[in-house]
Amino acid sequence: MLFPHSAPSIAETAATPPLEVRGLTVAYNRKPVLWSADYTAPARGLIAIVGPNGAGKSTFIKACLGLVPAVSGTVKVHGGPVAKRRALIGYVPQRETVDWDFPASALDVVAMGRYAMIGWCRPVGRAHKEAARACLDRVGMADFADRQIGQLSGGQQQRVFLARALAQEARVYFMDEPFAGVDAATERAVIQVLRDLDHAGRTVICVHHDLQTVADYFDHVLLLNTRVVAAGPVATTLNAETLRQTYGGRLGPGDVPMAGRDRAPDPGRDLAPLERGVA
């Protein structure tokens, strides 16, 4: 058992899908960045959200979590609205969204994952500090517990974020590009943690930017380009036709499995600033 205590029982939520999205539409400045998205996450397996820049991948996650307002649509996590399922939800934002000069140690940041469990106005007790330390250990960062977070490398910072998510002891994890800009050691650490979570029955939904590793790391894929293009098991969903629909037939030469094309302007480029505006 990965988490010995305090996680809600798996049996009580087993009958409902981890994430159920219906007609989710999000617009920034009246321009839709996500258009009537429907998605039901499978009970088992790691899930990747894939699509070009500006396709609404981060927006999809943020709208699911209620961090950006949706124009319309419903989101259910294990059968209930997000507001009533917060204890089941873990979140790893993009690394650039926070100020790493903040006067906090790696351990302080990981302990933040337990603030909801600790409750209002109470200090972080010894038991929670130990739990946070154990999570740092799981991502190979135990030796850096007392280091100020700005003194860590990008990959180490990403692992601190992952440890914080582990400390949340959630059932459904939303991760925004956990592999972005990390070193090889961190990439291995991250994928190991994701697989452990999967084996422990947790749901992990990752925005993922690297088409080459989707099939290696993930079991399911959600192809997104403002609309949901396709969703399902990687083996049957990720093919030349769906990728062409997602990326508009303009993949770069490095973006296997559709090799051999000239690098063309990013189809989602005009929407990218809108998405960054709320990041």
Partner 1 sequence: MITTQEFLQIDLPAMTAAVLACVCCALVGNFLVLRRQSLLGDAISHAILPGIVAGFLITGTRAGLPVILGALAAAVIAGVLIEAVRRFGRLDGGAAMGVVFTVMFAGGVVLIEQGAARAVDLDADCVLYGQLEAILWLAPQTWADLADPAVWADLPRQVVTLALVTLLCVVCVVAFAKELAITSFDPALATTLGIPAGLFHHAVVVLVAIAAIASFEAVGSILVVAMLICPAATARLLTDRLPVQLWLSVAIGGLTGAGGYLLGAFGPSILAGGPADALNAAGMIATLAGVLLTAAILFAPRHGVLARNRPRHRGAAGHQMGKDVVSDAVTH
Which among 122-130, 195-203, 243-251, 264-272 is the span making contact with partner 1, rule CB under 8 A?
Answer: 122-130
Interatomic CA distance for residues 272 and 150, integer angstroms: 27
Under rule CB under 8 A, residue 27 binds partner 1 = no
Contacts (CB under 8 A) with partner 1, residues 195-224: none
Pick from 7, 41, 89, 243 the residue near partner 1 by CB under 8 A.
89
Under rule CB under 8 A, residue 175 binds partner 1 = no
Under rule CB under 8 A, residue 101 binds partner 1 = yes
> In the bound complex, what is the minimum distance in angstroms from residue 237's beta carbon to partner 1?
28
Pick from 36, 148, 237, 245 the residue near partner 1 by CB under 8 A.
148
Number of residues binding to partner 1, judged by CB under 8 A: 35
With contact defined as beta carbons under 8 Å apart, do 111 and 124 qualify? Answer: yes
Under rule CB under 8 A, residue 109 binds partner 1 = yes
Q: What angle do CA 126, 129, 130 make, to 5 degrees?
A: 85
Under rule CB under 8 A, residue 100 binds partner 1 = yes
Burial 143-180 (b: 16+ CB within 10 A, else e): ebbeeebeebeebbbbbbbbbbbbbbbbbbbbbbbbbe
Which among 7-15, 113-121, 222-230, 244-252 is the span making contact with partner 1, rule CB under 8 A?
Answer: 113-121
Q: Which is nearer to partner 1, 6 or 97 (CB)?
A: 97
Under rule CB under 8 A, residue 155 binds partner 1 = no
| Phi then psi dihedrals of residue 29, to 5 deg | 50, 45
Under rule CB under 8 A, residue 126 binds partner 1 = no
For residue 210, CA distances in Å to 38, 176, 180, 237 come to: 23, 13, 9, 16
> In the bound complex, what is the minimum distance in angstroms from residue 29's beta carbon to partner 1?
11
Contacts (CB under 8 A) with partner 1, residues 69-88: 86
Q: Which of 24, 23, 28 has the alpha carbon at shortest distance from 272?
A: 28
> In the bound complex, what is the minimum distance in angstroms from residue 221's beta carbon to partner 1?
24
CA Rg value for the chain: 19
With contact defined as beta carbons under 8 Å apart, do 72 and 37 qualify? Answer: no
- The per-residue DSSP string of 66-125 comes to TSS--SEEEEEETTEEGGG-GGGEEEE--GGGS-TTSS-BHHHHHHHTTHHHH-TT----
> In the bound complex, what is the minimum distance in angstroms from residue 219's beta carbon to partner 1?
24
Q: Please give the residue ranges that form the binding site for partner 1 (CB under 8 A).
A: 62, 65-67, 86, 89, 91, 93, 97-105, 108-109, 112-113, 115-116, 118, 120-124, 148, 150-152, 164, 168
